[in-house]
Amino acid sequence: MTVELNHTHDAGARSWLDAANAAGCDFPIQNLPYAVFRRTGSNELFRGGVAIGDQVLDLAALAARQELQGTALDGARACAHEVLNGFFALGPTVWQALRHALFALLKDDAAERSIAEVRECLVPLVEVEFRLPARVGDYTDFYTSIDHALNIGRLVRPDDPITPNFQWIPIAYHGRASTLGVSGQRFHRPMGQMLPPGAKAPVYGPCARLDYELELGIYIGQGNAGGEQIPLADADQHIFGLCLLNDWSARDIQFWEMAPLGPFLAKNFATTVSPWIVTLEALAPYRLPWTRPADHPQPLAYLEDPGNRAHGAFDIQLEVWLESAKARADGSGPSRLSSTSFRHQYWSIAQMVAHHTVGGCTLHGGDLFGSGTISGPGPGEAGAMIELTRAGQSPIALGNGEQRGFLEDGDAVLLRGWCEKPGAARVGFGESRGMVLPALG
């Protein structure tokens, strides 16, 4: 595992597109995240694009011109499809070649002829719609925040909040890929069984304790052969990039059905991801040492590596906002519920990948991991409403005078993420937005 900074991380680099140089822009030239898009309401084919400022660079259109050559052209052509799986499969050498070629074409010292050609391939962000950027064959959701585990555990097992295995393995369950949706997803409140407090028999009905979970999504780039383990030191070579992910959760259904197995109906009705995938290369300036407190169990050998210790963590700032139907109607805007950083996660992304394969599991390009709920150690850093409200016992106040113990119909949850520090360019993830509709049952 090696992390090297290069010219694409130069905080002083500027684009000839003025919007990419604006303060607070999520998509400067140092970012260049990928999505799959088309013009809203058109019959165009979806295809791959890269965000720059307030525009999307159409990679299918660019590949048809004469501005790219060799490996970079191979990458752009692989992006000219309705999903990016083929591009993922080409591997890190091609990923980097295309990123560097796009950086050169978008930089303020690019040739005038090239600038004119690239301008013809730009589509305003306000004019596009997105779909899932990859064909996700399998989806795995992890449980890797010790602060989240403690907060939840104290609600259900006050005397023994963390299970013995949490500090030894990156815990996960296999989720449902069929209900993954891109930002803007609208879904109906799920139906299911739940056991009311004090009852001896369950009841069937709409979920009453609907929640969100603030997570990052991890897209696998290149997979592995069946039975072939991915060593921790090589895990980064198999990760294409990260997005925002909301793992919606029906808490009352979940607590009834998770005895003795993992989540089922409580998690399979919707998962919302942001459209943009930020590459690991773009995130290189924001990597930090991965640490484990000295008095905690240290990882077994296959989950231990000097490179992971040196830069296995990511300092990604994250926020959760809630927009109620009332706030939407009166124009008062969403309320911020919490904020934290991904640097607090107990297990690293590379450890998730390595552990996933040690039993013989095959990963494919386009597979998606959820990081697990991201909660920090301080007040207001919880990544789920069940933590913020102590399972609804202490409702949280919204900015317009409303309160929430759990989510209500018409609520929209917005996840936002970015990286920012002195001496480095801001790298943003955009937004993941999903809305709760009334139950159909």
The residues assigned a catalytic role are 148
| CA-to-CA dists, residue 411 to 186, 210, 247, angstroms | 10, 11, 15
DSSP string spanning 63-128?
HTTTS--HHHHHHHHHTSSSSSHHHHHH-HHHHHHHHHHHHHHHBTTS-HHHHHHHHTTEEEGGGE
Measure Cα distances from 423 to 17, 106, 138, 286, 435 in Å: 21, 21, 38, 11, 37
User: Can you tell me the distance from the alpha carbon of 184 to that of 128, in angstroms, rounded to the nearest whole number?
Assistant: 13
Distance between CA atoms of residues 212 and 120, nearest Å: 40
- Which amino acid appears at position 188 of this protein? H
Pairing between strand 249-250 and 210-211? antiparallel
- The secondary structure element, H or E, covering residue 436 is strand 424-437
As a three-state string, the secondary structure of 40-66 is: CCCCCCCEEEEEECCEEEEHHHHHCCC
CA-to-CA distance for 355 and 374, rounded, in angstroms?
19
Name the token pair of 381: 């850093």
Instruction: Compute the distance between CA of residue 111 and CA of residue 115 in angstroms, rounded to an integer.
Output: 6
How far is C-alpha 109 from the geometric centre of its chain's CA atoms? 33
**Separation between Cα atoms, residue 260 and residue 272, nearest integer Å:** 27
Q: What distance in Å separates the CA atoms of residue 185 and residue 412, rounded to the nearest whole number?
A: 10
Report the Cα 29 to chain-centroid distance in Å: 21
Best CA proximity match to 278, nearest among 104, 81, 99:
99
